[in-house]
């Protein structure tokens, strides 16, 4: 009888507890960058805010992400004082902290490459890390800018949301906020390590904390402030310092060294840098940077007039582990809205404009539009590939005709014929719309028109009707 009562109690507990970590109960979920709708098991749900991209990861409002993953709302807790989010499943306790790249699974620290953040009054989490902690598989669909989440071996198949759910089927163009940016690599540094573990592991942890940091003009980068204190709770392990003493976080000087070298290569003003007490084996004398929490820092100022993005990481290679850092100049690009006209304009074209508007950016006094938006707008197949640092795009016009472009190359191919672009296409790696071509060249390729409409919003009109329009008064 006692065993029977215990069995009944267990069954009752299972019936009222969320089962997100049980493989049989895992949902199939799709989140799309820029879309306020998501699908859970083929049903469409609305969210308060749209997911967005940051450093290559999709961030999703924390409540919507957790509920889609099968967590009961009562088990999703936000502590406004401590800035923490707790998510409880039947057998897992997850804890995230705002702006911290370490989260905890049943009290054990795990490293993320993107921190939770606040935007438009909502708290966003990098959904990949929650999903994988709960036993889900995760995949990225580059063309649709979607993250696919499902049981291992049973990911959902991507398909567009119904048109009635979204305001338009043209994707939003975002870059970690409201602006689009052009990026230009200023410098890089890397060191390959062979046969080491603890110190190189710690260097990789420090690099992940520095990765994605934006250094505004005239602001000072501090290694201590950005990378933070080297503690076990923040993902560090015991390593060796320059005197062979075992210490938590030993090895992070490798990261400060590649950052120092990249800062010098970019021409930044070095404010504080310390050499090691003894020569180090991994870099020539005079190119190292020793750091020690609270006593020796690495600091440099952005004196270039434009924001700088720091990228850093640790890559596995056949010949060892490559620790690297890159500095990228980040320049905001002005945005303008582009109205679309496909109907006969008649006497007043303004009555015939479509609800959807495209986003164009101004670069070097030229307006650009992304191929991703044009593909969505006209339901045309688009294929983008990256080879040896160059991006190739093919936009199909019909079964036999296409437009082929290469980033940073003025020569395009339209229906098998060469077409010389007035300005070079460019690539925005951090945007949800990545391949951009001159808008006026695009209209020439397909026989359309583009007009600037002074004093109105939107200021640009993409005329696909095949007929000239009269702007009318004003």
Please report the pLDDT score of residue 263 as a whole number.
97
**Percentage of residues of the chain with pLDDT beyond 70:** 87
Please write the tens of the pLDDT for every residue from 173-218. Answer: 765 445 677 778 899 999 999 888 899 999 999 999 998 888 999 9
Taking only the tens place, the pLDDT of each residue in 296-324 is 999 999 999 888 989 999 988 878 899 99
Instruction: Give the per-residue pLDDT at 331.
Output: 80
Average pLDDT, the chain: 83
What confidence tens digit (pLDDT) does each residue in 120-163 have? 778 999 999 999 999 998 888 766 678 899 988 888 876 554 43
Residue 111 Cα distances to 126, 129, 257, 306, angstroms:
12, 9, 22, 30
- When mean pLDDT is compared across 3-7, 48-52, 260-264, the lowest value belongs to 3-7
The pTM of the full predicted model, rounded to 2 decimals, is: 0.51
Read off the pLDDT of residues 38-71 as tens digits, 9 standing for 90 and up. 888 877 777 878 888 887 788 999 998 999 999 9
- Tell me the domains of the chain and their CATH numbers: 18-150 (3.30.457.10), 180-331 (no CATH), 334-463 (3.30.457.10)
Q: How confident is the model at residue 233 (pLDDT cuts 50, 70, 90)?
A: confident
How high is the pLDDT of residue 469?
A: 78
């Amino acid at each position: 009888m006692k065993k029977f009562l215990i069995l009944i109690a267990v069954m009752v507990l299972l019936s009222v507890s969320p089962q997100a970590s049980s493989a049989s109960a895992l949902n199939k979920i799709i989140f799309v960058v820029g879309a306020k709708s998501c699908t859970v098991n083929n049903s469409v749900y609305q969210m308060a805010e749209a997911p967005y991209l940051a450093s290559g990861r999709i961030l999703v409002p924390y409540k919507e992400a957790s509920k889609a993953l099968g967590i009961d709302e009562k088990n999703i807790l936000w502590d406004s004082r401590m800035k923490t989010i707790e998510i409880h499943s039947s057998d897992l306790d997850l804890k995230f902290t705002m702006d911290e790249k370490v989260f905890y699974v049943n009290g054990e620290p795990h490293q993320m490459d993107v921190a939770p953040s606040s935007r438009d009054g909502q708290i966003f989490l990098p959904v990949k890390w929650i999903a994988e902690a709960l036993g889900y598989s995760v995949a990225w669909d580059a063309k649709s800018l979607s993250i696919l989440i499902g049981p291992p071996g049973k990911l959902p198949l991507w398909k567009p949301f119904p048109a009635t759910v979204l305001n338009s089927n043209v994707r939003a163009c975002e870059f970690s906020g409201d602006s689009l940016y052009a990026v230009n690599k200023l410098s890089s540094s890397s060191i390959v390590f062979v046969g080491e573990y603890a110190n190189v592991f710690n260097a990789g942890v420090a690099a992940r904390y520095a990765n994605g940091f934006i250094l505004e003009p005239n602001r000072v980068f501090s290694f201590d402030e950005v990378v933070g204190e080297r503690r076990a709770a923040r993902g560090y392990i015991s390593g060796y310092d320059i005197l062979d003493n075992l210490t938590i976080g030993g090895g992070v000087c490798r990261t400060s060294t590649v950052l120092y070298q990249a800062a010098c290569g970019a021409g930044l003003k070095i404010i504080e840098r310390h050499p090691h007490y003894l020569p180090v084996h991994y870099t020539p004398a005079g190119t190292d940077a020793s750091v020690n929490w609270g006593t020796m820092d690495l600091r440099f100022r952005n004196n270039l007039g434009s924001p700088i993005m720091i990228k850093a990481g640790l890559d596995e290679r056949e010949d060892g582990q490559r620790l690297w850092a890159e500095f990228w100049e980040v320049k905001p690009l002005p945005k303008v809205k582009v109205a679309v006209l496909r109907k006969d304009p008649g006497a007043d074209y303004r009555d015939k404009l479509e609800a959807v508007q495209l986003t164009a950016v101004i670069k070097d006094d030229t307006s650009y539009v992304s191929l991703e938006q044009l593909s969505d707008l006209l339901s045309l197949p688009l294929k983008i590939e990256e080879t040896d640092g160059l991006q190739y795009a093919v936009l199909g016009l019909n079964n036999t005709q296409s437009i082929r472009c290469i980033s940073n190359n003025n020569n395009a191919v339209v229906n098998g014929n060469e077409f010389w672009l007035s300005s070079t296409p460019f690539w925005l790696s951090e945007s949800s719309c990545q391949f951009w071509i001159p808008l006026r060249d695009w209209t020439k390729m397909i026989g359309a028109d583009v007009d600037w409409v002074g004093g109105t919003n939107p200021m640009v009109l993409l005329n696909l009707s095949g007929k000239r329009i009269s702007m009318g008064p004003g």
